[in-house]
Chain A
């Protein structure tokens, strides 16, 4: 049994520990361990200032909410459904994974798994197929986070008999009635999400946090590239680095640029060229340094440099 030292804190009839009177915020913060997750977020995600600020705010709110609960200051469970909008490759999925970790550490989702789905997994192909399919996914996501990528595909305005509407209705119902069991995150490109919300006002109002992911600047893209290469145990030689800076500015001006994803693809192609260059000269003795470093020629061989900046049409390889 708990013996309370303050007489006023004695519980009235109800079992369980008496409400807290004062809280050491720092200890609470360290105990929960979100500091770590937030630091990791800062370290591993480059740029995205507004996103990080928002996540910090949410994390602080949840920390305070947790303490309030233990002080018996009841309030409604905060709505945690979110929508992430932004261009391709701005880190929406990555952030969703981190959010799940934060929510789990704070105890707002019980298990912390992330179920990532698109329209295909929610919407059926014939009458009566959609509801069980959507419910199946919802059941899997219970206790965790349901991440719906490209959520606007759920709604097809041109076809009023589209089964997507049924999935939307089930989602809305569960989002409302089982708020403490499940967090839903919708993600997609900004303009199309706006249209989606405009035609489904129920969604907009049930989502508390609308977070917009900005595009990366050239400098941020370069740091992202270096971070990715570091993880893969590669590095850019000084010449290659300069060439890559030029590559980024050229590539950005071309169509179908998808931020960090384009950078990752470019790096993969550079690795191919480097391997090819090394294998071309079989009589050479290679050092670790040779294997790790990407040279300017690996970058400059890209088609981006040979295309005129005004060229449109196909995506450059």
Chain B
């Protein structure tokens, strides 16, 4: 099951050219661009690891693409996303975030139903990938 999170996730995967254009947009808006990766695809997982430091004060997307390609070399079997952080007063938050790399196979989620008091049911989603320990979830060693 294809994970859909952030911008553009219902579109076909962006090409490098399209990613470059999005990064350039972020740079021109003055946002800091971050590269993050994770192997826990749960939508409520907000703790992604950062690849390097946030990148600001750059003029051209090529530098960020260089870092992204490095990150893909190391974590090509995980989810990688780019985010643009707007530090200006009143915003101070992520303005744009999109997935740029995903594992080859995404096993999807199990929906667990828990019967609780009365007849009510609590739902939980649990990703099949997260059954395995961190670092080995998508065919990693």
Contact = CB atoms under 8 A, between A and B. Distances in A.
B6 interface: no
A182 to B, nearest CB: 7
Interface string A124-163: 0000000010010011111110000000000000000000
Given A139-B66, A139-B67, A113 B59 contact: yes
A181 B65 CA distance: 11
Nearest to B55: A139
A8 interface: no
Contacts of B60: 110-111, 142-144, 181
A140 B59 contact: yes
A138 B63 CA distance: 7
B52 A140 contact: no
A53 interface: no
Nearest to A138: B63
B29 to A, nearest CB: 15
Contacts of B66: 135, 138-139, 142, 174, 178
Interface string B21-65: 000000000000000000000000000000010010111111110
Interface residues of A, number: 16
Contacts of A181: 60, 62
A138 B58 CA distance: 10
A139 B51 CA distance: 15
Contacts of B67: 135, 139
A182 B62 contact: yes
A174 B69 CA distance: 13
A302 B63 CA distance: 50
A241 to B, nearest CB: 44
A22 to B, nearest CB: 30
Contacts of A140: 57-59, 63
B59 A143 contact: yes
Contacts of B57: 140
A161 to B, nearest CB: 25
A144 B62 CA distance: 11
Nearest to A110: B60
Contacts of B55: 139
A210 to B, nearest CB: 26
Interface string B7-27: 000000000000000000000
A178 B67 CA distance: 13
B72 to A, nearest CB: 15
A132 B52 contact: yes
7 contacts: A110-B60, A111-B59, A135-B66, A139-B67, A140-B63, A143-B63, A144-B59
Given A111-B60, A139-B67, 20 more contacts: A110-B60, A111-B59, A135-B66, A135-B67, A139-B63, A139-B64, A140-B59, A141-B63, A142-B59, A142-B61, A142-B62, A142-B66, A143-B60, A143-B61, A143-B63, A178-B62, A178-B66, A181-B60, A181-B62, A182-B62
Interface of A: 110-111, 113, 132, 135, 138-144, 174, 178, 181-182
Q: Which 8 A-B pairs have the closest CB atoms?
A: A143-B60, A139-B63, A181-B62, A142-B63, A142-B62, A142-B60, A111-B59, A111-B60
